[in-house]
Chains A and B, each alone.
Chain A
Amino acid sequence: MPFYLNVGYTFKRPPVNGVDRSVIIASAMPMHALERRNIDDRYPHLEHRLFDPQLYLAGLGASASGGACANLASYAWFGVHGLDDFDSALHKQSGWKKDAEKEIAKHWPGAPPSNPKEIEIAAQDAVEFQVRLGCEAVIRPSPLTRDPGSDYSFEIQWLESGLRQAQSYGNGLPVFATIAIQDLCLLAAEPDSNPLLEIIADSVSARGVDGVYLVIEQGSEAADTRQCGNFRVLQSALHLTHILSREAGIRVFVNFLGAFGIACVAAGAESWASGWYKSLYRMKLSDKQAGGRAFPTYWSDGMATDIHLQRDLDTLASGSAFSSVATLTPPSAGLLNALSRGRAAASVPDWTWRQSNISAAQEHFIHAMARFDQRLQPLAPQARINTVHEWLKQANALASSVGPQLDSTKLSHISAWEAAFSAYRRDHNV
């Protein structure tokens, strides 16, 4: 199970070589909309699929994130009562959504079900839905861990229910236990002396799950970047991945850490997922609020960042380091060709910096991620570590050398990625 694409509401997309695996996320659309899609025949990237039940979003605020909450409310495991069920004889999908968004603040509980009977039923619903959807594994829902001093008992309650239900209704599919942690829980301690991480890893691995599905909510990250740049959070992600995969011997799937998922693969993750949109790239509760439109960026493997198309790409293209910055993919071939001839990025229509003109940028990123993953997968564990570390060191060096010329490209995460990976190697002697 290598690179997975996070998919949102829109399933239709051009094929990308090697991308036949996706994660469908609950907040992207209501349950009835998802159930009515003919997934099997139409979408090659969904040939192998997982479904993230996203119970960790149960704490969203309905007034600020009404759209996402309305979608989530349609899934039984959120325990929302009072909204009309979708009935195709009575509703159009858009009409249902509009009404649900109006009403959701009255009904959204703002917390996951906590009654043991409700948890058991919710866990069963989540398992049965994933089996019905044709998923290749069951992702068992978990609440978000928000308290650094948590004894994890509430999450264990969900875990136990999920395991029981998966055994009864999971159709023999592998079971992945969600570990969803708010980044605040990771900031105060070195990962190997953070008692919460030990409790989580021990509690989950001792219960015989096939794997874990790791999500870190990045509430402390800035709104104007999609990259996780906190050294301690990144170090904790690598640590948790390492101890679960290499020490406990269970499969690890890392989602919503964007391109840093590549580093997690080197630390032992079997699979990782990302999407291009900020809401599919990282997990930050406030990203679920409505508003904001996407602008295109140019992903650079060499610099491990998104380069600002309007303000910085032309500057870089005229410099001597551009060969290290450029990442050639089919969707970016025309852009790189134009830049090599001295033309501006804005002269290439698919890459003009304009709101919602993001198709090429999105495809380019997905091609780049899939290719990087394909490069990494065949390597032995130590070779993966060396390859990723070399990538991050070079990206950091490149960012340091060209950074002063740049205006709007976000660079601060790059040194954090490199430092976290170095610390991981040192801490675990790998």
Chain B
Amino acid sequence: MLTPDERNHLCGWVITNDFASQTPRDLSVSALVKQGGQGAVFSGSYDGQSSAIKVYYPGQLDKRVEREIDALTSLDCPSIVKLYWSGTVDYDGEAIPVTSTEFITGSDLRDVIDTAALPEAAVGALVYDVAGAIEALWEGGKRIVHRDLKPDNIMVRANGRYCVIDLGVARHIDEPTLTATGSTWGTVGYFSPEQARARKALTSKSDVFALGIIAVEAALGRHPTRRDQRRVFSSGMNHLLPGLANSFSFAPLIQKMLSPSPLSRPSPQDIMGTLASYAP
């Protein structure tokens, strides 16, 4: 775990030529945007296009991370932020991962929800788009589970469609150390039951559960249990959604997404099929 001073040092270093010399020539960093728990995000450009450049704090990197980053590179899904480049740079003798992604002009869903609850049509589009992202990560043999879907990781594009960012890359980097202590990766309030039990072999159905919570949160304008994870499991949302969400025409679908058993949850494809009228 880096101290605040160490993080600042790393961020300062990224702006220097030492960092630039280790990245492709068509990638450039211009300014620090924000510091998060796993790394720092910078604005910049890649191959002439605006880019968000994320530099992860020192951690472990294994073969699986490389493989899954490769898979992400090949993704072409409108509701997943596009990965332009990924690699590692040497920082004080340690290889740390760097990703360069599409820079999305818009707001993150957290800010949008904090302002006002979303109407039914917007929630339908949100669930449709993010289900597409879950499907794209899982299918085609990629078998990637995001594990950290939450409003903070979803951007609302200028055209009102939704896009998943962060790509779950951090999950893979941190997993070896976290699982060693019996922990799991993700955010309290959005865990599926199986993720909360620190199950390692998760499937796309775990992301489907998190998307169900996000849908309810978007409909209410607040997290349905104020991020109380235990109440997420005990609130019976798989039978009755709270507030206005229960009046939505697709409420039964959201209820199924919140089933305690992953087997009872719809697949991302099923979700997109049910919500086809909300497709772009």
Which A residues are within 8 Å of any B CB, using their own CB?
151-153, 156, 160, 163-164, 195, 198-199, 201-203, 205-207, 243-244, 247-248
**Does chain A have a CB within 8 A of B197?**
yes
Counting CB contacts under 8 A, is B45 at the interface? Answer: no
Contact of B199 with A201 in the complex, beta carbons under 8 Å: no
A152–B201 CA distance with the chains assembled, in angstroms: 7
Question: Which residue of A has the minimal Cβ distance to B197?
Answer: A195
B267 on the interface (CB 8 Å rule)?
Answer: yes
Q: Are A206 and B204 in contact (CB under 8 A)?
A: yes
Contact residues of B between 168 and 219, Cβ < 8 Å to A:
194, 197, 199-201, 203-205
17 A-B contacts, Cβ less than 8 Å apart? A152-B201, A153-B200, A153-B201, A160-B143, A198-B262, A199-B199, A199-B201, A201-B263, A202-B194, A202-B262, A203-B203, A206-B203, A206-B267, A207-B143, A243-B261, A244-B263, A247-B264
Residue B138, interface by CB 8 Å: yes
B141 CB–A CB distance under 8 Å: yes
* Contact status of A198 and B261, CB under 8 A, knowing A160-B143, A206-B267: yes
Are the C-beta atoms of B203 and A202 separated by less than 8 Å? Answer: yes
- Across the interface, do A151 and B264 meet the contact criterion of CB distance under 8 Å? no
Are A206's CB and B205's CB within 8 A?
yes
Closest chain A CB from B136 CB (angstroms): 15
Could you tell me if A205 and B201 are in contact, using CB atoms closer than 8 angstroms? Answer: no
- Known A-B contacts A160-B141, A198-B194; A248 and B263 likewise in contact (beta carbons under 8 Å): yes
Closest Cβ of chain A: how far from B222's Cβ, in Å?
30
Give the residue name and chain of the A residue nearest to B200 (CB). A151
19 extra interface residue pairs, beta carbon distance < 8 Å, beyond A151-B199, A207-B143: A151-B200, A151-B201, A160-B141, A163-B141, A164-B141, A195-B197, A198-B199, A198-B262, A198-B263, A199-B194, A199-B201, A202-B205, A203-B201, A206-B138, A206-B205, A206-B262, A207-B203, A243-B261, A247-B263
Which residues of B lie under 8 Å from residue A195 when comparing CB positions? 197, 199
Chain A nearest CB from B173 CB (Å) reads: 18
0/1 string, B244-273, CB within 8 A of A gives 1: 000000000000000001111001000000
Question: Which chain B residue lies CB-closest to A203?
Answer: B201
**Which of A164, A203, A207, A247 has a CB less than 8 Å from the CB of B261?**
A247
- Chain A residues whose CB sits within 8 angstroms of the CB of B204 once the complex forms: 206
Provide the bound-state CA to CA distance between A28 and B231, in Å. Answer: 54
A207 cross-chain contacts in B, Cβ below 8 A: 143, 203
Q: What A residues does B199 contact at CB under 8 A?
A: 151, 195, 198-199
Docked pose: A203 CA to B204 CA in angstroms? 9
Nearest chain B residue, comparing its CB with the CB of A202: B262
A residues in contact with B201, CB < 8 Å? 151-153, 156, 199, 202-203
A199 and B261 alpha carbons, distance in the complex (Å): 10
Determine how close the nearest CB of chain A comes to the CB of B166; give it in whole angstroms.
22
Q: B194 contacts which chain A residues (CB < 8 A)?
A: 198-199, 202
Lowest 10 CB-CB distances: which A-B pairs, in order? A206-B203, A247-B263, A202-B262, A248-B263, A151-B200, A247-B264, A151-B201, A152-B201, A243-B263, A202-B203
Alpha-carbon distance between A201 and B265 when the two chains are bound, in angstroms:
13
Collect the chain B residues with CB atoms within 8 Å of residue A163's CB.
141
Question: For B267, what are the chain A residues with a Cβ–Cβ distance below 8 Å?
Answer: 206
Kindly list chain A residues whose C-beta atoms are within 8 Å of the C-beta of B205.
202, 206
In the bound complex, CA of A199 to CA of B143 (Å): 15
Nearest chain B CB to A9 CB, angstrom units: 38
Task: Chain A residues near B138: list those with CB within 8 A.
Answer: 206
A28–chain B nearest beta-carbon distance, Å: 33
CB closest chain-A residue, reference B268? A206
CB distance from B129 to the nearest CB of A (A): 20
User: Whole-angstrom distance between the alpha carbons of A201 and B205 in the complex?
Assistant: 12
A201 contacts across to B, CB distance below 8 A:
263
- A residues within 8 A CB of B261? 198, 243, 247
Across the two chains, which residue of chain B brings its CB closest to A249? B263
Residues from chain B with a CB closer than 8 A to the CB of A206 are 138, 203-205, 262, 267
| CB nearest neighbor in A for B193 | A198
Residues of the B chain whose Cβ atoms lie less than 8 Å from the Cβ of A153: 200-201
For A156, A163, A198, the residue with the greatest tally of chain B CB atoms inside 10 Å of its CB is A198
How many Å from the CB of A316 to the closest CB on chain B?
Answer: 44
Smallest CB–CB gap between B194 and chain A, Å?
7
B204 — nearest CB in chain A belongs to which residue?
A206
CB distance from A146 to the nearest CB of B (A): 16
Could you tell me the distance in whole angstroms from the C-beta of A348 to the nearest C-beta in chain B? 50
**CA–CA, A314 and B201, complex, Å:** 56
The distance from the CB of A268 to the nearest CB of chain B, in whole angstroms, is: 12
Closest B residue by C-beta to A247: B263
Query: How many whole Å from B151's CB to the nearest CB in chain A?
Result: 25
**CB of B143, distance to nearest CB on chain A (Å):** 7
Q: For the complex, give the distance between the alpha carbons of A94 and B205 in Å.
A: 51
Chain A residues closer than 8 Å to B264, beta-carbon distance: 247
Q: How far is the CA of A248 from the CA of B200 in the complex (A)?
A: 20
B259 CB to closest chain A CB, in angstroms?
A: 9
How far does the Cβ of B82 sit from chain A's closest Cβ, in whole Å? 25
CA–CA, A248 to B143, complex, Å? 18
CB-CB < 8 A to A152: which residues of B? 201
Most buried by A among B199, B204, B263: B263
The complex places the Cα of A163 from the Cα of B197 at a distance, in Å, of 28
Say how far A412's CB is from chain B's closest CB, in angstroms. 33
- Contacts of A202 on B, CB cut-off 8 Å? 194, 201, 203, 205, 262-263
Which chain B residue lies CB-closest to A150?
B201
How close is A175's CB to chain B, nearest CB, in angstroms? Answer: 14
> Which residues of the other chain, B, contact A244 by a CB distance below 8 angstroms?
263
Contacts of B200 in A (CB 8 A): 151, 153
- Per the bound structure, the CA–CA distance linking A205 and B201 in Å amounts to 13
A255 to chain B, nearest CB (A): 21
CA distance A154 to B59 in the complex (A): 26
Report the Cα distance A201→B197, complex, angstroms: 16
**Smallest Cβ distance from B121 to chain A, in angstroms?**
29
